[in-house]
Structure 1
């Protein structure tokens, strides 16, 4: 634990050095605040404008969390379906890969035209950026199941359902959580992009108003908030992973 704490200070020291260098160069070069504000001004704005920014932050967190849950569920169900039905996998999987080549920023306006400015198009945007990493990671995890254990359970008379839930799914947990970590960061990005295209509140709306009024300090506050929320989602998934993967390893040892 102490070793992990010592290692954790290293990126903080590098980050502090970058902030000091940023502050010094901006002051020495006399860069206008509207062009590139120093970190001290950004922190001051974050503190002073917290009351105004908090509702937008909360709105984005709730939207990203809901989209992540929906995208994760759809991604996992898709992976299970493609894994258990090889014919469907061979027919659909290439199309899933092609779907990721469509830029979300281009697709989002079409979703607004089709579904309006409500919650649905925003959730669709977040779902589209979240489900694919989970689907790919889960399918890779299913394929990494120990063939020796699989053969042993089949010889013991295990059904396809038992084989999946008692062996293949536990083996896929580490890969599944890897996909969840990626999707967690994508969910915040997707929420902000969807808010740019039409919303009444959220970090995306806050950034739009700040950019149009040349409040660059507020833009940086929004960027820092996006980073912090992404790290928060990532950290929660890491904690859940440590518990479940530890359980998975113990379960495998007892097979």
Structure 2
């Protein structure tokens, strides 16, 4: 995680909090409509054990959703290129599914998989799956034709050329898909918790909003924002590890 990126992020957050506090001083809205950053910070401290416990629930959903979403997305992206006939049948189906609003599936997922972790993991995994599969398949297809022609002149089979030429060269595309998709995982988990859950930060936000405890809502949002930023930094670090030669990682 580059120190410059961390410093820039912290600086931007400090500016946002300063403007927010100035707006509170000037406009003086009711606290149940817009609490001050100081009040949100106090809530984070006062309710830290409770919020951290609920963060663990959401965090588990996010990490498992990331694992299954990236694994499934990379596997399908590789399969549609490795087996062209299979890809011609499967890819149109995936495009149709991707065109559907994933959030609209949240009530069905809760109905099918219940109020526990499974429906949240599936929701987060679905949001991760499509960008990863699409980016990786596109990267596998967009290999320099000259390299493929040179490979065809050898005795390498289709699968050998795929594994030794296409897969390494498509790693930057896979990393880009992960970078795009990873920060969306918390959104999927929270949306699913809003539909039906018994714990997690989304559940906390829903209950706090019903009780007009806006400071608790903002405290949960702060933890979700921190999680999203961490996932983005982690995805950037992963990109530099698996594809250090990619232009965007230099």
* TM exceeding 0.5: yes
Instruction: Give the Å deviation of 1:79.
Output: 0.8
Q: Which runs of 5+ in 2 are unaligned?
A: none
Are 1:55 and 2:53 an aligned pair?
A: yes
Q: Deviations over 1:199-253 (max 9, x none)?
A: 222111111111111111111111111111111122122212212212x67xxxx
1:179 and 1:127 mapped to 2: Cα distance? 13
Residue 78, structure 1, aligned to residue 66, structure 2: no
- 1:205 aligned to which of 183, 203, 206: 203
Aligned position for 2:176? 178
- The aligned residue for residue 33 of structure 1 is 31
The answer for unaligned runs of 5 or more in structure 1 is 250-255
Find the counterpart in structure 1 of residue 225 from structure 2. Answer: 227
Residues of 2 paired with 1:8 and 1:54: CA distance?
Answer: 22
Change (3 A) 1:159 1:87: closer
Tell me how far apart the structure 2 counterparts of residues 22 and 92 of structure 1 sit (CA, whole Å): 48
1:141 aligns with 2:139: yes
What value does the CA root-mean-square deviation take over the aligned residues? Answer: 2.1
Matched, 1:102 2:62: no
Residues 14-59 of structure 1 deviation map (CA, whole Å, 9 limit, x = unaligned): 4323321211221222211110011111111112211110011111
Aligned to 2:189: 191
Q: Which residue matches 1:88? A: 86
Residue of 121, 126, 130 corresponding to 1:123:
121
Report what 2:22 is aligned to.
24
- Alpha carbons of structure 1 residues 95 and 245: separation in structure 2 relative to 1, 3 Å: same
Q: 1:150 and 1:205, CA in 2 relative to 1: closer, same or farther beyond 3 A?
A: same
Query: Is the CA contact 2:183–2:231 (under 8 Å) kept in the aligned structure 1?
Result: yes
* CA deviation string 1:65-98 (max 9, x = no partner): 1011111111111111211222333333222122
Counterpart CA distance in 1 for 2:62 and 2:4 is: 32
- Counterpart residue number, 1:253: none
* Cα shift readout 1:129-153 (whole Å, capped 9, x = no counterpart): 1110001100111022222222222
| Shift of residue 117, structure 1, vs aligned partner | 2.2
What is the aligned residue count? 246
Contact 1:76 1:138 in 2 (8 A): yes
Q: Is the 8 A contact 2:140 2:170 kept in 1?
A: yes
* Distance in structure 2 (CA, Å) of the matches to 1:194 and 1:159: 44
Preserved CA contact (<8 Å) 1:55 1:201:
no
Corresponding residue for residue 213 of structure 2: 215
1:147-166 aligned within 5 A: 147-166=145-164
